[in-house]
Amino acid sequence: MKEYRSLALIVIAIFVITLVGAYFSPTFEEQRTFLELFFLMGSLLFIFSALVIFATIGFGSFAIYGAVFLAAVMGMYGIEGALLVTGMTYVIWGSIFAMETLLVYHRVKSAREWFQKRYTFKSFRLEYRVFYPMLIVAYIFLELIPSIFYRESFLKFSPSKVLKAMEELLD
C-alpha cells in the first residue's frame, strides 16, 4: 500500500506544479501552455486509470485493450500516432507469436503449454495467417542465419507441418 501512496503523491505533485506554473506565468501564452499540459496530463491519467481498472477486472481479449488504447492515441496524436501504435503492436506481438510458434515446431514443452492456455486451433490459425510474415522473419533470423554462421544443420520450415502440429496440440 505504501508504493501506491507515493505514486499518488507523485501524480498530485505533477498536477500542482503544472497549476503553479500556469498561475505564475507572466504571459497568457505560457499560462495557456501550462493549462493545456494540465488537461493533457488529466486525460492521460484518466485513460491509464480506466485501463488499469479494465485490466484488474479482466479483458475478454486483447482487442478491447487495443481499441481503447488506439482511441486514446488517436485522440492525442492523430492518425500518424495510431498507425505507429498499430505497426509497433503488430511487430511486437507478431515477434512473440512467431518465436513461440518456432519453439513449438522444435517441440519445446513450455511453448506447447503457452499455446494450450491461450489458443484454440481456430484462433491460432487466424493469428498464424496474420503473423505469417513475422514467422518467416523470425525463422530467417533465429534459424537460418545462425546455422550459416555456426555451420550447423537446422530444421527446415514447413507451414503445413506447423499447422498439423498445432492442430494435434490444440484440438
- Pick 69 or 52 by higher pLDDT: 69
If pLDDT is split at 50, 70 and 90, which confidence band does 55 have?
Answer: low
CA distances from residue 110 to 12, 106, 157 in whole angstroms, order as listed: 43, 11, 20
CA distances from residue 135 to 90, 91, 117, 149 in whole angstroms, order as listed: 12, 11, 20, 20
Amino acid, single-letter form, for residue 130: V
Q: Is this structure's pTM higher than 0.85?
A: no
Contact 42, 12 (CB under 8 A): no
The yes-or-no verdict on residue 62 having pLDDT over 80 is no
Could you read off the pLDDT of 19-51 as tens digits, one per residue?
899 899 899 999 999 999 888 888 878 777 766
Could you read off the pLDDT of 11-21 as tens digits, one per residue?
899 889 988 99
Contact 72, 45 (CB under 8 A): no
3-state secondary structure 106-117: CCCHHHHHHHHH
The yes-or-no verdict on residue 161 having pLDDT over 80 is yes
